Amino acid sequence: MPEPTPPPRQNLDPTVFGRIVAGLGHSGAIGTRYIAHGADWAELALDYRDDLVGDPASGVLASGPIIALMDIATSISVWIRRGAFMPQATLDLRIDYLRAATPGRSVIGRGECYRLTRRVAFVRGQAHDGDPADPIAHVAGTFMMTNEA
């Protein structure tokens, strides 16, 4: 994508911003960590933890923390693409659980904003636990801007 001229906001540093958002409230409680970003994507990690397990017999992480990770990663991707931290809310999010995450491994979630309009942002993403070519989950969703009339 060509660089918009002038950029909407110069003061959004996604690296700093991603670290802050990943550490707040529910994101911080499940332990998401900022990893990397590009012009329209953000990558976060979720480390394996016993208290996030959904099935004690197998030790597999619950699906809830994975959907939260992807909600956060896609949400940051929207702010990065928009170039500004605008209030937004998740409208819907669909997640396909391709396979169970391997117990003990960190989950890496990459969210991408592939289409941005004034009121709605369209996102997609994938999560893996070590090999991006063997993903554990795929997501698609939309966010709506909450300050638009």
Binding site for another protein (CB under 8 A): 24-27, 29-30, 50-56, 61-65, 67-69, 71-72, 87, 89-97, 100
Q: Rounded CA gap, 131 and 107, in Å?
A: 10
Min dist. Cβ of residue 51 to another protein (A): 5
Min dist. Cβ of residue 4 to another protein (A): 26
Min dist. Cβ of residue 54 to another protein (A): 5
CB-wise, 29 or 39, nearer to another protein?
A: 29
Min dist. Cβ of residue 143 to another protein (A): 10
**φ, ψ (nearest 5 deg) of residue 2:** -65, 150
Q: Rounded CA gap, 30 and 69, in Å?
A: 8
CB-wise, 7 or 28, nearer to another protein?
A: 28
Looking up tokens 């391709």, which residue turns up?
98
Looking up tokens 């999010």, which residue turns up?
93
Beta-carbon contacts of 24 under 8 Å, excluding residues fewer than 6 positions away, are: none
Q: Rounded CA gap, 53 and 99, in Å?
A: 15
Joined together, the tokens standing for residue 48 give: 């394996």
CB-wise, 24 or 84, nearer to another protein?
A: 24
DSSP-assigned letter for residue 117: -
CB-wise, 1 or 57, nearer to another protein?
A: 57
